[in-house]
Amino acid sequence: MNPKNAWFEEFQKNVSDLIARSPAADIERNVKGFMGQAFNKMDLITRDEFDIQVDMLKRVQERAAILEAQVQQLEQRMTLLEDAKV
């Protein structure tokens, strides 16, 4: 291994360790916790849940369109039958 790479990797490790032990890490955890609580109170949903709901809505709309077409066909048949009686 190249000595410069080893030095750089050791430097990165030391910086990461220093950050993990610093007050910044505590602040980050506290902010994440606070924001998590705030988002839970807002009753938000995940993107996956949103996408599922969008897919379900599309299927419902497609089914409603099919049912509307069937109702129109039945109404036309009823009208023809009523006209044939007269």
What is each CA distance from 55 to 38, 47, 65, 67, 68, in whole angstroms?
28, 12, 16, 18, 20
What pLDDT does residue 76 have? Answer: 96
What pLDDT does residue 4 have? Answer: 62
Inter-residue contact 32 to 26 (CB < 8 Å): no
Residues 54, 32: one domain?
no
Number of domains into which the chain is organized:
2
Residues 50, 21: one domain?
no
How confident is the model over 8-57, as pLDDT tens digits?
A: 788 888 888 877 777 777 777 788 888 888 877 887 888 999 999 999 99
Q: Which domain holds residue 75?
A: 45-86
Residues 19, 1: one domain?
yes
Residues 40, 50: one domain?
no
Q: pTM for this structure?
A: 0.50
58/50 Cα distance (integer angstroms) = 12
Residue 70 pLDDT exceeds 80 = yes
Residues 10, 33: one domain?
yes
Q: How confident is the model at residue 75 (pLDDT cuts 50, 70, 90)?
A: very high
Residues 66, 84: one domain?
yes
3-state SS, 15-42, equals HHHHHHHCHHHHHHHHHHHHHHHHHHHC
Residues 62, 51: one domain?
yes
